[in-house]
């Protein structure tokens, strides 16, 4: 496999926690500009895979490359984020005591050093960007309210908004529609498809309607490695996948 042209390249990655192999010889390649859906039963290692890519967990073995040449295993979370990988957590994680607007302000792409933050003056460009994102995530009316007061679905959207503000090259989105109504789920699929026009995206989701809505290539993980890969129809008719989901 050639690495150039890939935004993310995992080869033979393994990680064990106290002897338990959460990721087992996992290989996965994402092309630049591609959106991929990842499915798999609970405990398949989907979140752990994201932990490895974002520098939270170091793999025991294997290669993890970003953008064709950057070895991610040599960098920590903040460095990886600055290189252009953004992440939405499975459990929505926003700054609860901060207003919706401040959550976005802290996520805005740009300087990440202490002194510029100390002397930061809000610029017209930043305000415009925040306004735009607030429009996209439909939280304009609540911009000055603390994020703690948002509903579960709204927090998911705010976190997606924070990703947008960060403007990464690659977005890792862990279970974005958990706790959403059908209408919200549909909206989220639309939003992610929009984002995928200009970004590379990995979406982990259990909701098959949502995955179908995305209409992209699907990878099914099981016990820490790839079980099946292809179109949703192909993957969902794969006997091994059916067995994993039903035969337990």
Partner 1 sequence: MIARRLFSSDRRIAVTIATLLAAAVIVPVLNLAVPAESAFHVPSYVVALAGKYLCYALLALALDLVWGYCGILSLGHGAFFALGGYAMGMYLMRQIGARGVYGNPDLPDFMVFLNWKELPWYWLGFDHFWFAALMVMAVPGLLAFVFGWFAFRSRVTGVYLSIITQAMTYALLLAFFRNDMGFGGNNGLTDFKDILGFSVQASETRSALFAASAVALALGVLVTWLVVGSKYGKLLMAVRDAESRTRFLGWRAENVKLFAFTLSAMMAGIAGAFYVPQVGIINPGEFDPANSIEVVIWTAVGGRGTIVGPIVGAIAVNAAKSWFTGALPELWLFALGGLFIASTLFLPRGIVGLWDRWQQMRATRAVPAEGKAAARTEPQPAE
Ligand X SMILES: Nc1ncnc2c1ncn2[C@@H]1O[C@H](COP(=O)(O)OP(=O)(O)OP(=O)(O)O)[C@@H](O)[C@H]1O
Rule CB under 8 A: say whether 56 interacts with partner 1.
Answer: yes
The strand pairing partners of 28, in sequence order, are 10
Partner that binds at residue 105, options Mg ion, partner 1, ligand X, none, CB closer than 5 to 8 Å by kind: partner 1
How far is the CA of 63 from the CAs of 19, 74, 116, 170, 227, in angstroms? Answer: 20, 11, 35, 18, 19
Listed ranges 1-9, 83-91, 117-125, 150-158: which one lies at the site for Mg ion (CB under 5 A): 83-91
Does residue 90 touch ligand X according to CB under 6 A? yes
Residue 56's binding partner, choosing from Mg ion, partner 1, ligand X, none, with beta-carbon cut-off 5 to 8 A by kind?
partner 1
Q: What is the CA radius of gyration of the chain?
A: 18
42 binds, among ligand X, partner 1, Mg ion, none (CB under 5 to 8 A by kind): ligand X
Backbone angles phi, psi at 247, to 5 degrees: -85, 35
What is the rounded end-to-end Cα distance, in angstroms, of the chain?
34
Among the listed residues 50, 75, 51, 71, the one whose alpha carbon sits nearest the alpha carbon of residue 62: 71
Element holding 58 (H helix, E strand): none
Distance CA 222, CA 49 (A): 12
- Single out the residue of 119, 124, 141, 239 in contact with partner 1 (rule: CB under 8 A): 119
**Residue 44 binding result from partner 1, ligand X, Mg ion, none, given CB thresholds of 5 to 8 Å by partner type:** ligand X
By the rule CB under 6 A, 88 interacts with ligand X: no
For 199, half-sphere exposure in the C-beta direction (CA atoms, 13 angstrom radius) is 24
Smallest gap from Cβ 104 to partner 1, in A, equals 11
Residues in CB range of 28: below 8 A, 6 or more apart: 8, 10, 49, 219, 226
Show the binding pattern over residues 17-46: x = contacts ligand X (CB under 6 A), - = does not: x----x-----------------x-xxxxx
CA atoms of 47 and 153, how far apart (whole Å): 20
What is the nearest approach in angstroms of ligand X to the Cβ of residue 90?
6
Q: Which residue in the set 28, 29, 37, 47 belongs to the binding site for ligand X (CB under 6 A)? A: 47
In the complex with ligand X, the residue whose CB is nearer, 33 or 41, is 41
- CA–CA dist 189, 210 (Å, integer): 6
Q: Is 225 in the site for ligand X (CB under 6 A)?
A: no
Closest to 219 measured CA to CA, from 232, 201, 238:
232
97 is an interface residue for partner 1 by CB under 8 A: yes
The footprint of partner 1 (CB under 8 A) covers 54, 56, 76-78, 81-82, 86-87, 89, 93-98, 102, 105-107, 112-114, 117-120, 146, 148-149, 162, 166
The footprint of ligand X (CB under 6 A) covers 17, 22, 40, 42-48, 90
């Amino acid at each position: 496999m050639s690495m150039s042209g890939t935004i993310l390249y995992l080869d033979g990655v393994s990680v064990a926690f106290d002897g338990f192999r959460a990721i087992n010889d996992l290989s996965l390649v994402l092309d630049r500009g591609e959106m991929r859906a990842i499915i798999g039963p609970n405990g398949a290692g989907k979140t752990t895979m994201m932990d490895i890519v974002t520098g939270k967990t170091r793999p025991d073995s294997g290669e993890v490359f970003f953008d064709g040449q950057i070895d991610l295993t040599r960098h920590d979370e903040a460095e990886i984020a600055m290189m252009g990988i953004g992440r939405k957590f499975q459990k929505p994680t926003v700054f609860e005591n901060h207003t919706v607007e401040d959550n976005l302000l802290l996520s805005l792409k740009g300087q990440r050093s202490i002194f510029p933050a100390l002397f930061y003056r809000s610029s017209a460009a930043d305000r415009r960007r925040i306004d735009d994102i607030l429009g996209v995530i439909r939280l304009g009316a609540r911009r000055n309210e603390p994020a703690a007061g948002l509903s579960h679905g709204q927090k998911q959207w705010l976190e997606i908004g924070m990703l947008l503000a960060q403007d990464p090259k690659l977005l890792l989105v862990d279970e974005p529609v958990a706790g959403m109504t059908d209408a919200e789920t549909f909206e989220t699929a639309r939003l992610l498809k929009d984002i995928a026009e200009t970004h590379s995206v990995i979406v982990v989701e259990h909701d098959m309607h949502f995955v179908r809505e995305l209409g992209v290539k699907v990878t099914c993980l099981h016990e820490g490695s790839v079980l099946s890969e292809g179109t949703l129809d192909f993957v969902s008719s794969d006997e091994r996948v059916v067995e994993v989901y039903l035969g337990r």
